[in-house]
Amino acid sequence: MAAEICGASLFLSVKTQLQLQQRHHQQRAFFQSERSRTRRTTTRFHSSKRCFSCSFPNASTFRRSVVCQVASTDFESAAKAGEHRLSKVPVRNIRNFSIIAHIDHGKSTLADKLLQVTGTVHQREMKDQFLDNMDLERERGITIKLQAARMRYVFENEPYCLNLIDTPGHVDFSYEVSRSLAACEGALLVVDASQGVEAQTLANVYLALENNLEIIPVLNKIDLPGAEPDRVIKEIEEIVGLDCSNAILCSAKEGIGIIDILNAIVARIPPPEDTSKRPLRALIFDSYYDPYRGVIVYFRVVDGSIKKGDRVYFMASGKDYFADEIGVLSPNQLQVEELYAGEVGYLSASIRTVADARVGDTITHYGRKADKSLPGYEEATPMVFCGLFPVDADQFPDLRDALEKLQLNDAALKFEPETSSAMGFGFRCGFLGLLHMEIVQERLEREYNLSLITTAPSVVYRVNCVNGDTVECSNPSLLPEPGQRKSIEEPFVKIEMLTPKDYIGSLMELAQERRGQFKELKFIAENRASIVYELPLAEMVGDFFDQLKSRSKGYASMEYTFVGYIESNLIKLDIRINGDCVEPLATIVHNDKAYSVGRALTLKLKELIPRQMFKVPIQACIGSKVIASEAISAIRKDVLAKCYGGDITRKKKLLKKQAEGKKRMKSIGKVDVPQEAFMAVLKLEKEVI
């Protein structure tokens, strides 16, 4: 019986398998016919995604989602051309361009799609934010470093070499943008079709115009329900002044308009000048330190050509090396034998000293040197300063090496040694903004395994002395004595806030609270306004940007430029603990805010400093004048415990004796402020000042 059952079940299973195979063949034939039909009906520039499911019995067992080919015939031919991207093309067929936009307008997504469509990156290797290769960039969803990529595209049966440089969008990384634009002849101006022109859009356009670049306006995210291309085109023409009659509408996410963009890059961006016969001149626009290969230099060949094995000379540093390896970024490093005028590539020459190959330097041949170097880049001016100290004093040499290597990759970072009585040896570092400061600190901790303490951010003040000298001071401890000071000037910035009209009042109130001087209010569109203020940079290095976003529900944007130094009523606020001045806790504040800052600091220190055997006064002072004070009561022994009776004079005698002892201890005793107290107060200063 059991054998019969087993034989029947075996027969059924074999029969079932035959039926399943037959149905599977039917499904495959159906899917193939549908796929071929869909390919024939695909439009030239845009095709939609389709998914077919079978309607056979038991279809749920075999249902497979079949996604038809999204790319059109143009996409396929472009992808095939990308396989030969290392092949040489004439100089007239080279196009160097970058992508500029406000933050979150879709630069990285568009760069990803261009790499994918041109076949530079295969589908199996593709991932979101492909060019953002730092974990920090992926976590925050922002671009921090410029990235270069070489693509190949065939236009009208002629191959072209497209060198793309993707740029950051945040105002703190504008130095990266300016360096990228100096290596290009054109730029794609990407504007979100749902948000329109924003503050950094304008700033980046002005940078591009300063470099005489051909600008191609691109309206991204047209597939969103809230997209208003007509309104945004009108905004660009009125605010920026660009002719948008030939603006390209695209959706980088859906692949709409990508071929139009590639065609426009070839047709509208001019090629570089053919100067390959001249002596070699190559501009270094970026570099980084590899622990195995040394300094890796990214450069654009302006004149001449460079071959593998050539002896090259760095004109600014005066050092020479042999080019062990040259290649292109596509976007990974691919070795080539030669690069000539107009091309962008990288160089590895076993450079171990980071100072030998700086950003902005000119590379030339050692045997046939160029007459003069390229102009290079304007030095970045730090706007915000803070102290970086290692938690472990033994890590000070490691911190110095890490800063030198990071400065190679981030040319806007400046630093100099500093000593603090509370935190030991460290560095005073200059940054372009608060986000830049935060990113540098995180990169030092992640990439170099350092534990750091960061002091409150500050700015550089200019002190006019009585004797006529002018002293620049970024640290309160370096401020001259009150008798030697004639006046103190602080840096002011011109800030432009673009906001919907509903939030004009709250943003003007915010600027007034931060000692801002109103300059201009104008409506750039029916529902959007531009508010211009001049306010002290010191008022911006706190939570100004957070407050701007909070009060406008995330719709406002801002962009600022340095305008100069203006005299202000500033004072040095000292903190005294038990009569001794604690220099690391001193700050420079405006006279109107001195009391509130002093009050907050003394209250916080009272909570953090442990009690002593004597009373400890904590005072916030302007010179010798105390404006806020708190006291930590002494730890007292109950000397009256043994006095269960008797005359009151006996108790007074014991209390008097105890008070004399406490007074003597206070005069010779010292209060040790714990490290945790310094860190907590520094955090408080960041919030209050």
Annotated binding-site positions for GTP: 101-108, 166-170, 220-223
What are the tokens at 491?
Answer: 């840096």
- The DSSP secondary-structure symbol of 555 reads -
What are the tokens at 378?
Answer: 């304007």
Query: How far is C-alpha 685 from the geometric centre of its chain's CA atoms?
Result: 24
- The DSSP secondary-structure symbol of 239 reads I
Q: Cα separations (Å) of 39 from 27, 29, 49, 656?
A: 18, 16, 11, 101
Q: Which secondary-structure segment (H or E) carries 480?
A: none
Sheet containing 452-454: order of strands: 414-420, 424-431, 384-390, 452-454
At 13, which amino acid appears? S
Q: Which secondary-structure segment (H or E) carries 250?
A: none
Backbone angles phi, psi at 314, to 5 degrees: -95, 115
Query: How far is C-alpha 395 from the geometric centre of its chain's CA atoms?
Result: 26
Say if residues 456 and 389 touch (Cβ distance below 8 Å): no
What are the residues facing 455 on neighbouring strands? Answer: none
How many other β-carbons are positioned within 10 Å of the β-carbon of residue 563?
13
Q: What is the DSSP string of 160-217?
A: EEEEEEE---SGGGHHHHHHHHTT-SEEEEEEETTT---HHHHHHHHHHHHTT-EEEE
C-alpha to C-alpha distance for 531 and 588, rounded to whole angstroms:
28
b/e for 603-622, b at 16 or more Cβ within 10 A?
ebbeebbeebebbbebbbbb
H helix intervals, 518-647 = 544-551, 594-608
Say if residues 210 and 561 touch (Cβ distance below 8 Å): no
How many other β-carbons are positioned within 10 Å of the β-carbon of residue 59?
13
User: Annotated binding residues, as ranges?
Assistant: 101-108, 166-170, 220-223
C-alpha to C-alpha distance for 486 and 448, rounded to whole angstroms:
44
b/e for 366-387, b at 16 or more Cβ within 10 A?
eeeebeebbebbeebebbbbbb
- Name every residue whose Cβ is closer than 8 Å to that of residue 677 and which is 6 or more positions away in sequence: 605, 608, 609
Q: Which secondary-structure segment (H or E) carries 235?
A: helix 229-235
276, burial (CB in 10 Å: exposed 0-12, middle 13-18, buried 19+):
middle
